[in-house]
A and B are shown apart, each in its own frame.
Chain A
Amino acid sequence: MPQLQTIALDGNTLQESVPGEIFQIPALTKLSLGTNSLVGAIPTGVGRALSLTSLILENNLFVGDVPTELNQLTRLSMLSLAGNKMLTGRIATEYGLFTSLQTLSLSDTDIRARIPTQYAALTRLRELRIANTLVGGNIPSGFEKLTSLSIIDFSGSRFRQSIPTFMGQLTALSKFSFLGTLPLDDWY
């Protein structure tokens, strides 16, 4: 099956760990195994799926650090590791190079660190979900350039800074979840 491009088995009861060989499918562009009972670490072989544009491993039981090999999937437009509460690691600055990225969901994980300033280059980003994580700090400057953003979910994370006033320039924003102090003076 050399032309297999899509594997979407979400919402089932698939178990055990994902075999690394599955990322060796040459034409695989979409791998969606969300909402199953997958365990183990995300295979390091994921870095070989260079054609992947969508990787959805949310709502499973993955453990361990997010593999750095994931940073090589520069064609990704959707990356969802949310719902894996035992998934650890640092939020990768390299994601800032995913210029095609439209959805980044790291909610409900143990990923930590600050939001890299490189994310300001994700001009096509529409959804940014980093809720209930260990990510904190400040919202980096330059986010005002993410004019495609429609959903921002920082709820439950550790942002201590007030909401920057430049967030007001995100005209496409329809949902913004944030836990912190509202900079009321600057918004008016």
Chain B
Amino acid sequence: MASSADVQYVAYLKAKFNLVDADLLQVITLASRPSPAPGPRLVEDTGSSSDEVVETSMDESYEEVLEESEEGYDEVVDEYMDESVEEIEEVSDEEVGAAPAPAPMPLQTLAPAPAPAPAILAASRMQDIDDDDEEPYDEEEEGQIIESANKENQVWDAKKNNQALVVVEDAPEDEMDGDPTVMMPETVELEPKHRKPASLSQSVVKVEEEPDVEDELAAIEAATSQAIVPATSQAIVPAPSQAIVPYDEEAAEKDKMGTEPPIQEPQEEKKEESNPILLVIVAFCLFLLIVIGILLILIFVTGTIPKWWETDDQPPAMGPYQPGNCNFEGQAQPNVISQCECTDRVSQVSDSVQSRYEELSVELLVPTVYDSWTMSIGSCEPENLALLWLSTGPKIEDQNELLQRYVMAFLYYSTTGQEWNTQTNWMTNQATCTWYGLSCTGTNVNSVELIGNNLNGPVRHLSLSGLWLPWLHCTTYSHISACSIVSFLLSLAHCLSYRQSP
């Protein structure tokens, strides 16, 4: 029931603003316009017949407004409401000192909601015009709803960092399926800390119609439509954005999963992802260990350090000796004796042979055999021809075999080997121990017997500039790549014993 003061106040307003009852009813209707957006609304049926009358009246007014202005609906309504509210506020402030100062009404509460929220507990506290005329208030039910909402808000706050979502879990199905136009007679007001941002789809758009404005509207409604406004104050249905929809846990969960970044699952995923990375690292380490082990075994077995980084540019084999033939076309590396016979010098040396030649001259012959190597690569001296031949063909890692081949090649070239009576396996890739006239102990040549084999040349070359020196034994094994540290020390001791002997 509206009080007499309220009736008087409404009458005053009508007189001041030249308002008719239809205007006031239109204002009330606009304020309570239902949401055009789809989606069920949670409506609590109070069963009051007076409510139905009010709702019917409000729906009719609403339809009329829609018919009048379809295009500028929002603008018209907002402007109209703003003006009305402002005027009411001005009047309230200036002339009605006893009345509570109306707080500014949020416009969004009257504007259409951008989209329906999946689960909304919209609790608009509708200030009754007259608390005495209010329907019996179910405090217990309200308390349950508030408690449930607060609980959900707390859970939600904990998860979402105060992002708004208030869920009414125990909303009855029959209420959710009710007529969307049915007014919600009771409202629930949540604590401000539970209010959620309206921008979030999951957020609760909490309509908190200011009690002062509501009072004004209710007073107007009560004063101007006595026939339809019962004594009971009816809560205005909240704006569409405030519509209460049943809470769908699964949908909410899906929505959360789809829109919100996961909070706890990423940590588990990180844990699950860290395991494969760890496994990969461990596997890689094991692979490295295996490779290193294989390398060590190879070095131990072969006594040499594999040099994979070196390009496998194998020099060509030396061409055959053809007396009187000075046409070297098609030969990658013409025979050096042939070249010397034709041009008195070695003029054609392939790049790979020259590279190997330079390498061997430094690493093999100096200082083991010679103090220095100053000979030209084009020289026809047997020392040079032997080194040129040694620089052709497959690379030989065994330093001892290299030296033996060089010595024998030197003997060959210094004694006109191309004219020997027997040259079986000489100057071939075969091991020196298979060459005619040579005998070996193991892989070491211990005998050179070329009796009556037409060796022709200066015997001085047999000296090989110290090839026979005792320290040759030392220097042969002094190559780190050719022996282990142990064998190197043993050979060093052996050398010292040689040098100390008279």
Contact = CB atoms under 8 A, between A and B. Distances in A.
A40 B473 CA distance: 30
Interface in B445-476: 445-460, 462-470, 472-473, 476
Nearest to A23: B468
A26 B439 CA distance: 17
Chain B, interface size category, equals: 35 or more
Interface stretch (A10-18, A83-91, A169-177, A179-187): A10-18
A77 interface: no
A180 B211 CA distance: 167
A19 interface: yes
A36 B454 CA distance: 10
A161 interface: no
Contacts of B472: 1-2
Contact of B444 (A1, A13, A16, A28): A1
Contacts of A20: 463
Contacts of B444: 1-3
A5 B470 contact: no
A99 B177 CA distance: 134
Contact of B457 (A4, A6, A14, A22): A14
Interface in A122-147: none
B498 interface: yes
Contacts of A10: 451-452
A5, A7, A9, A26: most-surrounded residue (chain B CB, <10 A): A9
Contacts of B445: 1, 3-4
A38 interface: yes
A9 B451 contact: yes
Interface SS of chain B: mixed
A24 B468 contact: yes
Chain A, interface size category, equals: 20 to 34
A112 B332 CA distance: 61
Interface string A15-46: 11111111011111000110010100000000
A14 B446 contact: no
Contact of A21 (B415, B439, B468): B468
A8 interface: yes
Contacts of B449: 6, 8-9
B10 interface: no
B404 interface: yes
Contact of B448 (A9, A19, A36): A9
A79 to B, nearest CB: 19
Interface string B463-493: 1111111101100100000000000000000
A14 B455 contact: yes
Given A1-B472, A22-B462, A24-B469, A13 B455 contact: yes
A84 to B, nearest CB: 15
A102 to B, nearest CB: 20
Given A12-B415, A14-B458, A33-B459, A24 B470 contact: yes
Contact of B466 (A13, A14, A21, A38): A21
Interface string B19-57: 000000000000000000000000000000000000000
A17 B404 contact: no
Contacts of A1: 403-404, 407, 444-445, 467-468, 472
Nearest to B477: A2
Contacts of B430: none
Given A2-B470, A2-B473, A22-B468, A8 B460 contact: no
B437 to A, nearest CB: 9
A35 B465 CA distance: 24
Nearest to B416: A13
A11 B462 CA distance: 16
A12 B451 CA distance: 7
B161 interface: no
A22 B465 CA distance: 10
Contacts of B446: 3-6, 27
A50 to B, nearest CB: 9
Interface in B408-465: 415, 439, 441, 444-460, 462-465
Contacts of B441: 3
Contact of B447 (A6, A11, A12): A6
Contacts of A16: 458-460
A22 B454 CA distance: 21
Contact of B459 (A5, A28, A36): A36
Nearest to A18: B459
Contacts of A25: 468
A48 B266 CA distance: 87
A20 B452 CA distance: 23
A6 B437 CA distance: 11
15 contacts: A1-B403, A4-B445, A4-B447, A6-B449, A7-B462, A8-B448, A13-B455, A13-B457, A14-B456, A15-B457, A18-B460, A21-B464, A25-B468, A26-B470, A27-B446
Given A1-B404, A19-B460, 20 more contacts: A1-B403, A1-B407, A1-B444, A1-B468, A3-B441, A5-B447, A8-B451, A9-B448, A9-B449, A9-B450, A9-B455, A12-B456, A13-B456, A15-B458, A15-B459, A16-B460, A17-B460, A22-B463, A27-B446, A28-B468
